[in-house]
Structures are given as structure tokens and as C-alpha cells.
Homo-oligomer: A and B are copies of this chain.
Amino acid sequence: MAEKRKICAVITARPSYSRVKTVLQAIKAHPKLELQLVVAGSALLDRYGTAVNFIEKDGFTINDKVFMVLEGENKTAMAKTTGLGVMELANVFYNLQPDAVLTIADRFETIATSIAAAYQNIPLIHLQGGEVTGNIDEKVRHANTKLADIHFVTSEDARERVLKMGEDEAYVFNTGCPSIDIASEVQKSPKLDYNPFEKYGGVGGTFSLDEGYLVVMQHPVTTEYDAAKNDVLKTLRIIDELKIPTFWFWPNVDAGADGTSNGIRSYREKNNPKHIRFFKNMEPFDFLKLLVNGKCLVGNSSVGIRECSYLGVPVVNIGTRQNRRLRGENVIDVAYDEIEIKKAIEMQIATPKNKKSFVYGSGDSGIKIANILADIPLRFHKTITY
């Protein structure tokens, strides 16, 4: 019997895990593949929801844990975290000897995975290349593309961009987004079958869900560090003013995370809004059920663009974070402007649920990716196509 291909995935943050969970499951289940799982960075830290606990609870075996987040509320620390990540992950790959390494999307530290793999001549798989955001994340994403050998993208426009950047067509696949796989599961039994207050604790008010509720998830925009606190306060004030029951999720770690977190924390201390409940984290499945049963998602999470388009959940998307990404009809885009935000929320609540769209896949991304990985000729030599 032939040996299994060892695919080593590196998870560095909570949202990355949610996004690739079905890929990891499909790799694990595939007879010709072996999954090696490395959990690193903020995915290990209590302050960011200890994603590692969810990962273990989902039945995955973790091959290595890599502590690499250098504390400090500044961009220098962000760069140094990345440098440290390269050093640590170089060791990890040296020890695990994977046949290919998988890196995800565009977070600043994902390039550490890419360098540590590419420099050791390990074929690099990149998920979610070809998307546009317009700041350091986009620089990182496209740099990851140029370091990677195999590309799994989530939409046709992304696929075209990756090809235009000079990647070999035989190694670029639009498999849809693996996050849609989970949305598709949720779709099958969408009932909110748990009590969010009991299951997840959180802090803030307790309230009835009978009249419906909002969900907010607003991340700092990395290169607009100083404005992070300011931005989140605008949304907070509107939500507070609207007095609609709201589930609010803390942001993941970035150079500006503490600006956003501090904004939320200080507002809460002073105003103690009784109709808002703050959570650190939720299992992806539960989170999507919460969305499906809610009135509207507010913020700048990519979930609004992806899963919500498939699920038909109304979204008020604030600011530039999701710029130039394909979206369905479920999204209203607004600036960081209190009046605009308010108006858009009211509009989304007033109208019936939006039409669904399948621009990000049809729910079988994980399996598609695993199947391709099982058979594609692996290589670490490539050259630009023009």
C-alpha cells in the first residue's frame, strides 16, 4: 500500500479555523491523506478565545503548538511575531517532514508559514488567494500566492486574479469557500437549539430572543490602527441607541485589537448596556445558527460576505475591510458613519430576508480540496507563466 501524503495545516487564529474546519475533516477522512495539525499564535491564547480548545473538542489531534505572539500594542510587535513564527515553524516542519504545508488567507502571520515551508522546499498550498482588501492583508495575501505552489480559491473572480498574477492554471482551483460547507450543514437544521447565555457565558445583559436580535462582529482594520477605538465606538453607540437585543463578538488579535477591545471595554464599564451580550468566541456551527435566526449581522466580518450570502442573512457591512469582494444581494455597505450605520440596520430589519447566492460555493469545498490534494503531482519549483 502506498504511504499517505502528509498535509500539514497551520492554524494561527480562531476565524481561520472556522474557515478551514471542513478541509481539515476531509483531509483527515481521506484514505490517501494524513493530516498534521499545528496550532499557533493567537489560536492558543485565552485573550482571543482559545480556539485550540474547540479544535481539540472537534476531535483533531494536534501535532505541535507554537507560541509566537509577542505582546505589544504596535506594529513592530506584529512584525516580530511574524519573524518569530518563521523561526518556530521552520523547526516544526523540519520535525514533521510534511509532503505539503497549508497556509490560509491573509493574516499577517500566515506569511511565516509560507516562508518556513517554501524555504525548506516543501510544496505550499494556499487557501483563499486572489481576494482584494486594499491594505497590509492584501499585500500578505498576494505574497502568499507568489510563495505558494497550489492555490484553492473561493470564487471565480479570485481565480482570475491568481491566474493573472502568473500562476500555472493547472495548480489553481476554484473549490468555493470551505466556510460554506458549514453553512450548508447549518442550513439543513437551522433551529437555534442551544441557549447562548448558558452555553457561552459572556458578559453583559441577559435578554429574551423572542423579538429577534442583532449580531455584531467588528474587527480593527490593521493599517488604520489609531482609528480602531474610534470606529468601534460609533457602532457601539448606534447599537446602544437602537435598544435591540444584540450579541457582540470580540475581535481577533491584530496591531489594533487592543484599540477595539479597549473601546468596547471602556464603553461597557461606563454605560453598561443591558441589551448587549459580549462573547469571546463560539463554535462555528452555533455561530451560524445564531446568524440564521437573527435579524441582521453588523460589522466588517467576512462572514457577512460569505456564509451570509449562502444563508441569505441580511448584513450591514461597515467600512473598507471587505472592499472589492464578490457579494450577494444580502449586503448593504456603509462607511464608519453613525447615521449611515443606523439607517442600514433599520432597512435590513424592515425588509424580508434576502435572496441567497452561491458565489462562494455549494457546500462541498472541503471534499473537493482533499480530493485534489490526494492526486495532484506535488512540486516546489514553479515559475511565472509570462
The chain A residues found within 8 Å of chain B, CB to CB, are: 44-47, 64, 67-80, 82-88, 90-91, 94-95, 108, 111-112, 114-116, 118-121, 132-136, 138-140, 142-147, 160-161, 164-166, 203, 223, 258, 262, 269, 323-324, 380-384, 386
Contacts and interface: CB of A to CB of B under 8 A. Distances in A.
Nearest to A324: B383
Contact of A386 (B45, B164, B166): B164
Given A67-B72, A70-B71, A80-B91, 20 more contacts: A45-B72, A46-B262, A67-B70, A68-B70, A69-B71, A79-B116, A80-B90, A83-B116, A87-B87, A88-B91, A132-B383, A132-B384, A138-B382, A138-B383, A139-B382, A143-B143, A143-B144, A161-B384, A164-B166, A165-B384
A76 B71 contact: no
Contacts of A73: 45-46
A85 B88 contact: no
Contacts of A380: 223
A91 B76 contact: yes
28 contacts: A45-B73, A46-B258, A76-B91, A78-B119, A80-B86, A82-B86, A83-B83, A83-B84, A83-B87, A83-B88, A83-B115, A83-B116, A84-B84, A87-B87, A91-B91, A119-B136, A121-B223, A132-B383, A134-B381, A135-B381, A139-B382, A140-B147, A142-B166, A142-B384, A143-B146, A164-B165, A165-B166, A323-B383
A11 to B, nearest CB: 16
Contacts of A108: 119
Contacts of A47: 71
Contacts of A323: 383
Contacts of A324: 383
A284 B51 CA distance: 39
Closest 8 pairs between A and B when the two form their complex, measured CB to CB:
A83-B86, A83-B87, A79-B90, A79-B119, A142-B146, A67-B72, A134-B383, A143-B143
A91 B66 CA distance: 9
A76 B67 contact: yes
B120 A139 contact: no
Contacts of A258: 46
B147 A143 contact: yes
A382 to B, nearest CB: 7
A64 to B, nearest CB: 8
Contacts of A111: 115
B384 A138 contact: yes
A383 B269 CA distance: 39
Contacts of A84: 70, 83-84, 87
A91, A134, A380 interface centre (most CB from chain B within 10 Å): A91
Given A72-B44, A80-B90, A139 B161 contact: no
A138 to B, nearest CB: 6
Interface centre among A46, A83, A269, by most chain B C-beta atoms within 10 angstroms, is: A83
B71 A67 contact: yes
A203 B73 CA distance: 22
Contacts of A164: 164-166, 386
Contacts of A45: 71-73
Residue among A72, A112, A166, A223 having the largest count of chain B Cβ atoms under 10 Å: A72
A92 to B, nearest CB: 9
